[in-house]
Amino acid sequence: MASNDLSGILPRVVIVSRRSVRKNKFVDFVGEYHLDLIVAYGAVPVIVPRVSGLHMLLNSFEPIHGVLLCEGEDIDPSLSDSETSGLSPEELDEIRKLHASDTAIDTEKDSIELRLAKLCLERNIPYLGICRGSQVLNVACRGTLYQDIGKELSKKLPENQRIMHINYDNYDGHRHMVKVVKNTPLHRWFKDSLEEEKMDILVNSYHHQGVKRLPQRFVPMAFAPDGLIEGFYDPDAYNPEEGKFIMGLQFHPERMRRPDSDEFDYPGCPSAYQEFVKAVIVYQKKLKSTTSVPKPLKLNQEMEKKRKIIVRSFSLARNLYSTGSDINPSKESELQAGAEFLESNTALSIQQEKRLKQMGATVRNAGSYIERLKQNEERERLARNIMGKKSAEQLVDLLSFYHMMGKICSEVLEKKLHGIVNDLGS
């Protein structure tokens, strides 16, 4: 395949690793079942390591055609506006001891994953959240979490309604019942395994946190007997055939395997990954069709003549600037073509204007350009002062906003530049 032929490249699904300590060293990993299923259905997983500062470098992983976020530590309570005031210091200490592997907050992983979740919501990039990933999606949309289901939810319920959501003595084998909501994707995937009246399936469970308040944009797909939401999706952003998929599942369908076997508990278990990758593939095709590189413009004879006149004008101005000589009256008409082009072109950046001024083509407007450059330096100083006072979350939101604005500006600028060339040819 030629290096410039992108048609054969598989769509990219970004997955953030989880950090642990092994032999006194940090190790980043992603569960193999996630990777196997992504590859099996036609996409390639791109693992984002949990490295300090990486949340500022996510543009380096573009193009992103899908995001899968899965297991990990508890999300920092301060990011979800979750109330912990109802828990006593003794209860919080008990939670930390009981769930020691989860309660060690990983702020860098939080920053990376929340940034990716918000990117998906802004661009409609397919998103599948499993376990912690479903909680990240909920928090990214300003939902809240139970900091500990056992302390906040179960203690309010009668004994027969309480559910064990994590069992360290039977970690992978533990299951509890969930009721599937009709006419949801989860219902369609598991309908062959459901009894029409009961609508129940058994799911695995590895969590002590969970969705408390679900934002209005989402619709629940399953509930545990204690009322905890076990799955949700955005119906306005769900249509795999059109490249749309925004969903969170609290359980792990990829791990719902029969003992000592790779065979799934239910035929519908891999469907979340299958439909997710289907959406990812379509999203990649749509992205290619909207961001294809335009072919170089072919200038007709008349436009080529005008182009040469403008180039000659800039070349003459550069020579005058570098030699410091006076303008020959006979050459003034040649300089005029370049000056007129600059006056009509309002799409130049400050850097471009500064460079052209140095070439001599914009000498007569040098004063105004210098003034604009000074204003820009003052604005930058003020901006740095303001940004230094903002929180990390506010800065992440601003970066997301300006990334979107930059994309829009690029598209508008391209149209304007095409318009300038067309005007030259008319």
Sign of CA dihedral 417, 420, 424, 426: positive
pLDDT in tens, 130-155: 999 999 999 999 899 988 888 787 77
CA angle 398, 413, 378 (to 5 degrees): 50
Least confident of 18-22, 151-155, 251-255, 300-304: 18-22
pLDDT in tens, 153-208: 777 777 777 888 888 888 788 899 999 999 999 999 999 888 777 889 999 888 88
Tokens standing for 48? 């984002």
Domains and CATH numbers, the chain: 12-290 (3.40.50.880), 301-425 (no CATH)
Instruction: Count each helix (H run) and each strand (E run) in the chain, helices first.
Output: 13, 13
Annotation says 120 is catalytic: no
Count of other CB atoms within 10 angstroms of residue 414: 12
- In the prediction, which pLDDT does 280 show? 96
Pairing between strand 12-16 and 229-233? Answer: unpaired
pLDDT in tens, 73-88: 888 887 776 555 577 7
pLDDT in tens, 218-258: 999 999 998 999 999 999 999 999 999 999 999 999 999 98
Count of other CB atoms within 10 angstroms of residue 40: 12
Task: Please identify which of the residues 34, 65, 208, 252 carries the catalytic annotation.
Answer: 252
- In the prediction, which pLDDT does 362 show? 44
- In the prediction, which pLDDT does 4 show? 46
Count of other CB atoms within 10 angstroms of residue 84: 15
Bridge partner residues of 41 (DSSP): none
- In the prediction, which pLDDT does 261 show? 81
Annotation says 252 is catalytic: yes
pLDDT in tens, 376-403: 778 788 888 887 887 877 777 777 787 7
Task: Please identify which of the residues 113, 254, 275, 353 carries the catalytic annotation.
Answer: 254
- In contact, 66 and 15? CB cutoff 8 Å: no
Task: Please identify which of the residues 70, 120, 131, 141 carries the catalytic annotation.
Answer: 131
Annotation says 131 is catalytic: yes
Residue 249 amino acid letter: L
